[in-house]
Amino acid sequence: MAEGSLAGRPAPDGQVAGRHDPRFAAVRGEFEANFTDRGETGGGVCVAVGGTVVAELWGGCSDATGSRRWQRDTLVNVFSVGKAMAAVCTARLIGQGRLNADAPVARYWPEFGAAGKDAVTVRQLLSHQAGVPGRSRRGGRPDRRTGITSTPSAFWPVS
């Protein structure tokens, strides 16, 4: 469906702006409910199906005082949203048999196995039981692709 065919309509109290394909009116309804029923103060969503935008909505305010309206291009910090995306991708890879949760992380990321971490499994890493909760002052250079330091040893023995 072409971008120009998205339907727009005023939201209650002018809370939500944007457009949506009429087949995705329920998306708009739920997005509006974030403000009218769920206490949300501001946000935006863009839904694409098969590479085509079917809903692009925004509403509320982008500041604590309520004086700045959320715009189509309002920037926000996403903080830990990557964790959910990583979990979805990991679950899919495990479901497809392309990732084994009980295999050592070093099978997929050989450098991770340095400094006694060779036995740490994917399952232990994902469940925060690997003994490597963060960067250590003990050194190690971050991987240029991930920013994660692979060389420091675990903070406690992993069995």
One DSSP character per residue, 34-75 reads HHHTS---EEEEEEEETTEEEEEEEEEBSSTTS-SB--TT--
Which has the closest alpha carbon to 75: 92, 85, 61, 62? 62
Asked whether 58 and 72 are in contact (CB, 8 A), the reply is yes
Asked whether 19 and 54 are in contact (CB, 8 A), the reply is no
pTM beyond cutoff 0.85: no
Per-residue pLDDT 10s for the chain (159 aa) are: 334 444 444 344 558 999 999 999 999 999 999 988 888 889 999 999 999 999 999 999 988 888 899 999 999 887 788 888 889 999 999 999 999 999 999 999 998 888 888 999 999 998 888 887 665 555 555 666 555 555 555 555 555
Chain centroid offset of residue 144 CA:
21
Q: Hey, which residues are catalytic here?
A: 80
